[in-house]
Structure 1
Amino acid sequence: MVEKRLGALPVAAEFLRRLDVAGIVDGLCPGGASAHLTHGQVIEAMVANRLTSPAPLVRVGDWARTWAVEEVFGIEPDLLNDDRLARALDAIAPKLEQIAGTVGARAIAEFGFDVSRFHWDITSMSVYGAYPEEDQDEQYPVIKYGHPKDRRVDLKQVQAGLAVSADGGIPVHTRVFGGGAAEVSQVVGAMKDLRVMAGEQKFLMVADSKLVSYSNIAALLQADVPFIAPVPAAQVKDEVYAALDLEQAAVVDWVPDRDAGKDPDRREVYRVLEDVHTLAGPRKRDPVLTVRRILVHSTGNAAGQQAARAKRLAKAAEEMDKLARAAGGRHYKTSDKVAARAGVIAAKRRVASCLRWHVEQDESGSPSLSWHFDQEVLDAEAQVDGWYALITPLTAEQAAPQDVLIQYKGQGAVERRYHDFKSPRCSCSTITASPP
């Protein structure tokens, strides 16, 4: 009696066949055929391995022996040794982007994905180890320090960009970048790749705030590729939001999936207004770019910002009261030391805009501290809670303000695919067969 795991191997094999992964790899990387396996067959087996048993890429032959790889893919487990895998990986490395793009285009044609809207984002993956740059091939993405999403600035990283369809969040395009690559500079390359993949069909590109730079916007407008992206906070002053009348904003007829089961009065509510956004170029002769700006208010965002501010204020108040009691004591004998500590508290708790304090000295030179929060500043900050802005070149006829918001909200699809990418899961059923 021979027992092997089957799991999702038949599903993976069917999708790999319909995507013609082996054929695409062998077409772009010829010359790798041996008496036993082509590069394409090896890559298909490795894809199945990643999908069903995402452990470190060693002992793939052992995996193939315990799983029904021979029965499903017709590959003898002993052929999937480390040397054969390495030769296949070396062969596809120079053609990786072409392979990914061709497979993505094949997926669009084979499964009929709606490619009228793509969602693009970049993530980072921190790595442990030295990874000296002089030991790495500069023709490929270099592992180095950058600005990691997980804030592990002590670790080097590599980055990956992913585009998914709005229709089901299907990954259709990916690119790998070095750890030090600036995210803002990768948007135009992604746009060009997606244009090739989409063919004659026009598409909408949705991305995060890294899309919003003068050079990116100019390139997208010149290429006639519409987009939606949030404006970086620094580009919209608080005074703009403070001047808005929430009562004049239109309520968006849309409910987030997470609120679908809640009572209507507990659901997050979105409201929108509209004006224009301008971007000036780095040179005086650069033309000023003008696009639509959708001003969005979210009750969920507002509640979150208010709660975060209250927490910061409470922490700051606790520490300032403690400092006031300690002023003139062993650790804070001078006014300078008291003032220095108050400045540290203001910066650490991010309340410098509203925290006011005064240090006095009595006749003996002993300092005392009084402090309060500036209520006018707090009221002004509360006025802008919940507001953010989206920009797009889409006309009002092409998309009403609420439609722009709803299409942008699909950006969560690419984030979910990154979650799948970084935290793969599998289910392992088994098959039992008797030897002949």
Structure 2
Amino acid sequence: MTTPRSFELRTEILGPLPVLNHFLDRVGLAGLLERHLPDDDRRLRLAPATVIGVVVRNLVVGHRPVYALGEWAAPYGPGLLGLDAGDASALNDDRVGRMLDRLFDADRATLVTEVVLGVVRQFGVELSQLHNDSTTVTFSGNYRAATGRPRGGQATPAITYGHNKDHRPDLKQLLWVLTVSADGAVPIAFRVADGNTADDVTHIPTWDELRALVGRPDFLYVADCKLANRQAMDHIAVNGGRFVTVLPRSRKEDAEFRDWLWGHDPDWTQAHRRAGRRHGDPDEVWHTTPARSPSAEGYRIIWVRSSTKIDRDAEARRARIAKGITALDDLNGRLASPKTRIRTVVAVETAATAALDAAGAARWVGFTVTEITEETYRQEKRGRPGGNTRYRRLTRSHHRVAWQVNEDVVARDAASDGCFPLITNDTAIAPAEVLAAYRYQPNLERRNHMLKGPQEVAPVYLQTPHRIEALLLCQFLALLTEAIIEREIRATMKTAELNSIPLYPELRSCPAPSAPRVLEIFNGVARHHLIDHGHVVQVFEPTLTPLQHQVLELLGIPADSYTASPTGTTKP
């Protein structure tokens, strides 16, 4: 009797890991992690550098929490993760947590510096212009032990309340400070500060760190308005640095120029023009003009006027005025009710002022309160009224708010619509170059969006602050890897004169590919093994689509990276 053959098909997911590994190998991340996280304990089942490497790959590709790391790694070929057969089951949260302990205790500053300098050398990243910004990492929970108490002589971050940029003042936070290069928005430095740290005090230590990293002080440092304080600007200028930032609306220089614009027409010079975002939209134009006098610190001020910001400012003012008028109309409805508790002129004025302040319209909408007295008559006694019936006069007072739009103030403010001041200590740079430097800042903000969006930095499923800081270092490494993937494919497209590639669903064109989308198109790519009684009968290599081949070619990755089994792959 013939025994029926028993076939088994085993699937080994490849996904985007060959693409990711190509760039991690170029960075030399594995070797750097092994040097800073030596495998010097024979009791360890997995090397610390291997575990941290898996964490970084998961942050880029899987976005799974630490406790689910083993579950995420199991379907992949272990060789793609630097693992051996069966190692994925050892990636439990306790082991990963202990590896994060080792990462925190290591010389993290040197590790980050070596990684960044390796990226700069390998990919030729230009460091002449750097952009800095901060955001908050929000936590759910009390974190009573996260008070900043040192661990092993190293400070730990204090998770506490502060100015939350996620609009959750009820939750505790840490401050994440990120610096990127203007060459592809590649992250080159990051810092984690206590949750109640003000942004303005972060710039001096950040700039000092960047000066040591770059090796010279003359790079252009671009940041938001929190840089515009005397201590930070003077520190950069005295030490040979250059900066560009925007002057806050609270500065006297801002108010003086806006007042002067009412009745004056400065000599605006076109600095930049680009086509409208949609077909039929007018061109977006930026003009510049020098300020009439330097700042209080003696630095150069350049005023910018944006055509699109003119429309936005006018629409925002119109919306606030309309909201304020609606609020006063609603207040009149409340005042007309016989049950109203607002019965004095002072109380009405207070309520009207609060309504306009809430709408942000107090500057343009004024009001007057009038008291209206109504008289009514009522019989003193019950019964049918007659010629001798006596009546009692009753008086009732109520109030009404009459509003008026201050047209003079509206016209004065409209004269400076679309204008904002930039401040710099560089007297040689052209105004158009100052504007171009500042206009690159949103690229940095998109990196912070990637941290909170695709990488899902929150919620953080860890309790101890030192492990959280180590995990944020892994987040930085993941962010850096995604940035160089984007930079590489966009640079190759520019060299090949490709305006776009069909990367979006339904093969719609994409002019600026993002790393998440580039990696996403490789989801589902897998290798299959046909097994018979424990022996491999046949291996079915993945078949790549034309789009996947095109992306691999643009990234400089050979197609056989998806057909050659990496070292360490599981034996069936």
- 1:33-432 matched pairs, under 5 angstroms: 34=42, 37-71=46-80, 73-75=82-84, 76-94=87-105, 95-133=107-145, 137-138=149-150, 139-200=155-216, 202-235=218-251, 236-244=253-261, 245-246=264-265, 248-255=267-274, 259=276, 262-263=279-280, 266-275=282-291, 276-279=293-296, 289-324=297-332, 327=335, 329-330=337-338, 331=340, 332-362=342-372, 365-396=397-428, 399-424=429-454, 425=516, 427=520, 428-432=523-527
Shift of 1:24: 2.1
Cα distance in structure 2, aligned partners of 1:304 and 1:353: 18
Residue 214 of structure 1 deviates from its aligned partner by 1.0
Instruction: Check conservation: 2:287, 2:304, Cα contact below 8 A.
Output: yes
Conservation of the 8 A alpha-carbon contact between 2:273 and 2:284: no
1:316 is paired with a residue of what secondary structure?
helix
AA at the equivalent of 2:192:
V
Listed as ranges, the gaps of 5+ residues in structure 1 are 280-288
Which sections of structure 2, spanning at least 5 residues, go unmatched?
A: 1-8, 374-394, 455-515, 537-572
For residues 78 and 328 of structure 1, the distance between their equivalents in structure 2, rounded to whole angstroms, comes to: 71
Partners of 2:430 and 2:277 in 1: CA distance: 23
Question: Residue 316 of structure 1 contacts residue 351 of structure 1 at CA under 8 Å; is this kept in 2?
Answer: yes
Question: Is the contact between residue 129 and residue 222 of structure 2 (CA under 8 Å) also seen in structure 1?
Answer: yes
Q: Which residue identity is paired with 2:51?
A: V
* Structure-1 separation of matches of 2:242 and 2:163: 28
Aligned residue type for 1:217? M
Query: Quick one: structure 1 residues 305 and 260, their matched pair in 2 at CA, closer, same or farther if it must change by over 3 Å?
Result: closer
Q: Which has the larger radius of gyration?
A: 2
**What secondary structure sits across from 2:272 in the alignment?**
coil
- Give the letter aligned to residue 125 of structure 1: V
Q: In structure 2, how many angstroms separate the alpha carbons of the residues matched to 1:387 and 1:99?
A: 43
Q: How many residues align?
A: 422
With over 3 angstroms needed to count, the CA separation of the structure-2 counterparts of 1:211 and 1:32, relative to structure 1, is: farther
In the alignment, the residues of structure 2 paired with residue 239 and residue 103 of structure 1 have an alpha-carbon distance, to the nearest angstrom, of 47
CA distance in 1, matches of 2:400, 2:83: 82
**Distance in 1 of aligned mates of 2:71 and 2:371:** 77
Report the identity percentage. 27
- CA–CA distance in structure 2, aligned partners of residues 421 and 295 of structure 1: 32
Give the letter for the 1:118 counterpart: L
From the superposition, tell whether residues 83 and 72 of structure 1 become closer, same or farther in structure 2 (CA, over 3 Å).
closer
Distance 1:237 1:166, change over 3 A: closer
Aligned 8 A contact 2:254 2:421 in 1: no
The offset of 1:98, in angstroms, is 2.9
Q: Distance in 1 between matches of 2:206 and 2:217?
A: 16
| 1:302–1:387 contact (8 Å) kept in structure 2 | yes
Letter in 2 for 1:106: G
Show CA shifts across 1:126-146 (max 9, x none): 111111146664421111100
Task: Specify the code of the residue in structure 2 equivalent to 1:132.
Answer: R
Coordinate RMSD, CA, aligned: 2.4
Question: What corresponds to 2:28 in structure 1?
Answer: 20
Q: Distance in 1 between matches of 2:108 and 2:425?
A: 33
| One-letter identity of the residue aligned with 1:429 | G
| Contact persistence 1:13–1:73 (CA under 8 A) | no
CA contact (8 A) 2:242 2:425 kept: yes
CA deviation vs aligned residue, 1:324-379 (integer Å, no higher than 9, x gap): 46546421443233222212212111222233222233565543433312211121
